[in-house]
Structure 1
Amino acid sequence: MTSPATPAPEAHPHHRRGLFETGERIQLTDPRGRLHTITLEPGREFHTHRGYLRHDDLIGRPDGSVVTNTAGIEYLALRPLLSDYVMSMPRGAAVVYPKDAGQIVQMADIFPGAVVVEAGVGSGALSMSLLRAIGESGRLHSFERREDFAEIAKANARAFFAGDHPAWSVHLGDLVDRLPEEVEQSSVDRVVLDMLAPWECLDVVADALIPGGVLICYVATTTQLSRVAEGIRAHGGFTEPTAWESIVRGWHLEGLAVRPQHRMHGHTGFLISTRRLAPGVTPPERKRRPAKGSRPEAAGAGSSDDRLGIDDGIADGTESELTGESTAASGGFDDTEWTPEALGERVKSDKRIRRLRRSLTGTSDG
């Protein structure tokens, strides 16, 4: 079992400064603003339909250099920012977009030296943001059910950090089964869940979190959002959850034509956050103002519930309907239907995942 007091191994140097070196990933921007990411290797060339560029012309150059290819096309060469790297790196599973990762780091108050639990890993996009925030003195425990996804995530992080990050431990298996084995009770500062059914993990998460610790969940649909909110309330060991989404719109800047861009990434996901209460503490009852017209005396003939056809149990707020036990509270889905395909995700084939894993790790998947 890993203790939160265990010191991190000796730090591996992170190559983010100095001259370009062999093995680094470099971002090239062409005159039209298109981005190309290459890994520098002696003797290799970057080809387009308009000439090619020698890697040797970049190796040893400072960050922010301009290089010219054989057709006279100029490229701006920069080390990719983490946000750039995440959007261009090889993916096994869908990534958490930088705008959401930034919200998670800020709103979950991820701090240097924190002990953080994450599930699942996917392609490692969120993991890298969390590692950046906790630093080498913290500890990130990441749980992933699929070995191929875990290998892809570790390879992506290894390429960005120029080695294995000393604060990162990746555990294969289900969070519910593995979390009690890997961390002590009340030893985790923050938990981040990016998974299909986070409400299934609330009990083990509550045991692992310190009093006042933060749980934040990233979900894709309103049905998931409702289900996890009702699960948090029914658990009784957390504060009232808060949910939101963020939408980022870029702007076109060309002379006097300063306007919003026509294209944008709209909805990516919802975030829902709550905090762990002290053991034995019952959260204060949340008072909600009823909607106008919901009182029988204000509805005229008959009650508003009768006229709207609302079931008495739901109108009274009985526990069976509000704790997530019914199909209404769960969005009309059985647990067996919570799959990436059912939520509209385009899942890559196992063959493509195996090919991607081999290309990143250089090994056979056996």
Structure 2
Amino acid sequence: MSEPRTDDRVDVPAEAWSGVHRGPLREGEWVRLVDQKGRKHNFELVAGKRFFSNKGHLDHDDMIGREEGFTLTSSAAGQYLIFRPLLNEFVVSMPRGAAVVYPKDAAQIVALADIYPGARVVEAGAGSGALTCSLLRAVGPWGKVTSYELREEFADVARRNVHQFFSAPEGQTHPAWDLRLGDLKLGLPELGHQVDRIILDMLDPWNCVDVVADALVPGGIVCAYVATTTQLSRVVETLRVHGGFTEPQPWESLVRDWHVEGLAVRPGHKMIGHTAFLVTARRMAPGEKAPRKTRRPAPGAYGVDYTGPRPADIPPVETDAGAAEAHEA
């Protein structure tokens, strides 16, 4: 195999804030070790330091200066594959305060909420910073990600994780990131400008629909990330009833790996099933309303047991008791 050309080893420009490096491993970078059983270890390279496991030790100095994608044998004959961690690998192993948005959902948010370089994005909340890293990489250093987090301890964890992934120099942060401690409902009106995308990773996103509508540019996208079917129903119906958004689109994604070995080709035993539901809708221009769906709701969809937001053209269903009271009156 030919030697890499000189320009192949030049690092990604620091001003890109990509969180990615190329070329030989350097002191201060993080690496990801995977052993023969698939166990993963992430740590920072420090000259003169050693990594210890039940398979003996490895010297950091034996990794520094080498191109990633090599195997080292430990002092007790354990073999380790060594690469820089990818973003999806980093977020599932980073320290956590709140639960993280998993890579399969972060990828869907970036793609289907159409996060682009230069976009002005607001997220609530910051959690542990997993989604923040994806959003910052998508908007680039010339965009803006404003993250609202209610809990200071979660904000601290998110700050450390984001700084670690993007290798932020001491005392600096990603130039596109603005982490704010506070409530989105109070913070959005104080921004002073409209934004292009709003991501709601919170317990009650339906309570933010009015301020989100005011903050989004016409054509902007709101994306809600919720865990349960009751939350899903409430946020979809609230967006629908508001009238200033297109018909909400709810979905979830499931990921199943496959075992492929000669003629033994079958679904894997592990699957990333339900993590969350996603809902997207686009903001209409001021004073405009999206056409109502012509398809009638399913029978009983808004029946006597339904207590959530109700479209204006679907009147409440009168119960037998209510009808009797009206008749007696």
Q: TM-score, normalised by structure 1?
A: 0.76
Post-superposition Cα deviations, 1:19-54, rounded to whole Å, max 9, x if no partner, equal 212221100111222221121122222111121111
Counterpart contact for 2:240–2:311, Cα < 8 Å: no
In 2, the alpha carbon distance for the partners of 1:105 and 1:199 equals 21
Residue 169 of structure 1 is matched in structure 2 by 178
Q: Separation in 2 of the partners of 1:312 and 1:101?
A: 34
Letter in 2 for 1:143: Y
| Matching residue of 2:261 | 254
Query: Counterparts of 1:339-358 in structure 2 under 5 Å?
Result: none
RMSD of aligned C-alpha atoms?
2.4
Q: Could you tell me how far apart the structure 1 residues matched to 2:70 and 2:192 are?
A: 46
Runs (5+) with no aligned partner, structure 1: 1-9, 295-304, 324-366
Distance in structure 2 (CA, Å) of the matches to 1:311 and 1:91 = 42
Amino acid at match of 2:135: L
Structure 2 residue runs without a partner (length 5+): 1-14, 317-329
Q: Secondary structure at the match of 1:262?
A: strand
Structure 2 distance, partners of 1:319, 1:289, is 14
Of 69, 72, 97, 1:67 maps to: 72
CA distance in 1, matches of 2:306, 2:161: 50
Selected match of 1:182 from 163, 169, 191:
191
Return the alpha-carbon distance in structure 2 between the equivalents of residues 109 and 255 of structure 1: 39
Point out which structure has higher relative CO (alpha carbons under 8 A, 6+ apart).
Answer: 1
Question: 1:210 aligns to what SS in structure 2?
Answer: strand
The separation in 2 between residues aligned to 1:106 and 1:37, in whole angstroms, is 28
Residue 155 (structure 1) aligned with residue 164 (structure 2): no
Corresponding residue to 1:212 among 205, 210, 219: 219
Partners of 2:24 and 2:271 lie apart in 1 by 35
Residue of structure 2 equivalent to 1:46 = 51
Matched with 1:103 is 108
One of 89, 92, 95 as aligned partner of 1:87: 92
Cα distance, 1:322–1:219 mapped onto 2, change above 3 Å: farther
Change (3 A) 1:46 1:278: same
- Between stretches 246-255 and 148-157, larger displacement belongs to 246-255
Q: SS state of the match for residue 264, structure 1?
A: strand
Write 1 or 2 for the structure with the bigger share of strand.
2
Query: 1:95, 1:122 within 8 Å by CA — same for their partners in 2?
Result: yes
Share of identical aligned residues, percent? 56
The residue type equivalent to 1:286 in the other structure is: K
Q: Residues of 2 paired with 1:313 and 1:26: CA distance?
A: 52
Q: Which residue of 2 aligns with 1:3?
A: none
Distance 2:311 2:93 in 1: 49
Aligned length: 296
Deviation for aligned residue 1:153: 0.6
Aligned mate of 1:245, from 244, 249, 252: 252
Shift of 1:65: 2.0
- Shift of the alpha carbon at 1:172? 0.7
Please state whether the residue corresponding to 1:268 is helix, strand or coil: coil
Match of 2:236 in 1: 229
What's the CA shift string for 1:248-282, capped at 9, x where partnerless? 00112334322211121210000001000100112
Aligned to 1:18: 23
The residue aligned with 2:11 is none
Separation (CA, whole Å) in 2 of partners of 1:189 and 1:160 = 25
CA distance in 2, matches of 1:256, 1:11: 45
Shift of 1:147: 1.1
How far does the alpha carbon of each residue in 1:156-184 deviate from its partner, in whole angstroms, 9 at most, with x for none?
Answer: 01111100211110011000111121241
C-alpha distance in structure 2 between counterparts of 1:228 and 1:32, whole Å: 43
Rounded Cα–Cα distance in structure 1 between residues aligned with 2:287 and 2:132: 32
Amino acid corresponding to residue 119 of structure 2 in structure 1: A
Quote the Cα distance in structure 1 between the aligned partners of 2:281 and 2:39.
40
Q: Distance in 2 between matches of 1:270 and 1:120?
A: 16
Give, in whole Å, the separation in 2 of the partners of 1:313 and 1:71.
64
| 2:12 matched residue in structure 1 | none
Q: Structure 1 residues 13, 239: closer, same or farther in 2, change over 3 A? A: closer
| Contact 1:119–1:175 under 8 Å retained in 2 | yes
The TM-score, its normalising length taken from structure 2, stands at: 0.84
**Residue 120 (structure 1) aligns with:** 125
